[in-house]
Amino acid sequence: MDFKALRKTFLNGIFNENPTFRLVLGMCPTLAITYQASNGIGMGLATTFVLVFSNLVISLLRNLIPEKIRIPAFIVIIATFVTVVEMVMHAFLPALYDTLGVFISLIVVNCIIFARAEAFAFKNPPLLSAADGLGMGLGFTLAITLLSCIRELLGSGTIFGTRFMPEWFEPMAIAVQPAGGFILLGLTLAAVTGIAARSQKRKEAAK
């Protein structure tokens, strides 16, 4: 296993196949908890942890799990790591545990984790799968932290609780409400699609 392939797999999750912006997976946590920047980063890192270890374990067991019952097997492995995250967060980060609430348990059904188990970890060696999990997880973390910063800035005028907007700025309550989540994610997605299409064009023009 050479280092180059690992790096390529890792970066693939952050840029080319960013789970949120390019694959549009894992929308539930992306929309639900992003009204605060600290939620975004907490959720992102919790998901990354689960993703790395579930990818690693599934890849180690990929020759032992029969094809037919792979889905229940994936679920049990993923749910185990989610339970670990749940307990650790409850013990050491009770405030974050309370704000994220039911969405910590719901990491089990985050489609990013499932999609990577099925599409990558079940077919690739352990180290490469862990790199894929780390890349995808950090790509997800980056995306939801970005979105939660935008929402917190517009909705409360702060980022990570520090005020960034001038005095006269009237916070837009809709940005932290559900409707604002949909709309701002739509706009962010449109911007990313636009930028990607533009750089694609530039690349082709350069050729």
Partner 1 sequence: MNLILIFVGAVLVNNFVMNKFMGCCPFLGVSKKTETAFGMGMAVTFVITVASLATYFVRQLLVALELEYLQTIAFILVIAVLVQVVELVLRKLSYALYQALGVYLPLITTNCAVLGATILNVDSGYNLIESVVNGFGAAIGFTLAIVLFSGIREKMEMSDLPAWMQGFPGALIAAGLMAVAFSGFAGLI
Residue 155's alpha-carbon distances to 42, 103, 144, 169, 177, in angstroms, are 19, 21, 16, 10, 8
Q: Which residue's CB is nearer to partner 1, number 6 or number 189? A: 189
Interaction of residue 15 with partner 1, rule CB under 8 A: no
| CA–CA dist 176, 8 (Å, integer) | 36
Look at strands 158-159 and 162-163 and give their pairing. antiparallel
Number of neighbouring beta carbons within 10 Å of residue 200: 10
- Choosing from 108, 128, 136, 143, the residue that interacts with partner 1 (CB under 8 A) is 108
Kindly write out the interface string for residues 70-99 of this chain, putting x where it contacts partner 1 by CB under 8 A and - elsewhere: -xx--xx--xx-xx--xx------------
| CA–CA dist 120, 162 (Å, integer) | 39
Q: Which residue's CB is nearer to partner 1, number 25 or number 37? A: 25
Segment lying near partner 1 (by CB under 8 A), choices 10-18, 49-57, 69-77, 159-167:
69-77
- Choosing from 13, 14, 18, 31, the residue that interacts with partner 1 (CB under 8 A) is 31
How does 14-24 read in b/e, with b if 16+ C-beta sit within 10 Å?
beebbbbbbbe
The two three-digit tokens of residue 174, written as one number: 């809709």
Interaction of residue 142 with partner 1, rule CB under 8 A: no
CB of 22 to partner 1, least distance (A): 10
Residues 18 and 102: beta-carbon distance below 8 Å: no
CB of 110 to partner 1, least distance (A): 8
To which residue do tokens 């993923």 refer? Answer: 78
Number of neighbouring beta carbons within 10 Å of residue 183: 13
Number of neighbouring beta carbons within 10 Å of residue 26: 24
Q: Which residue's CB is nearer to partner 1, number 103 or number 160? A: 103
Where in 178-197 is the site for partner 1 (CB under 8 A)? Answer: 178-183, 185-187, 189-191, 193-194, 197
Q: For binding to partner 1 (CB under 8 A), which residues are involved?
A: 24-28, 30-32, 71-72, 75-76, 79-80, 82-83, 86-87, 101-102, 105-106, 108-111, 114, 174, 177-183, 185-187, 189-191, 193-194, 197
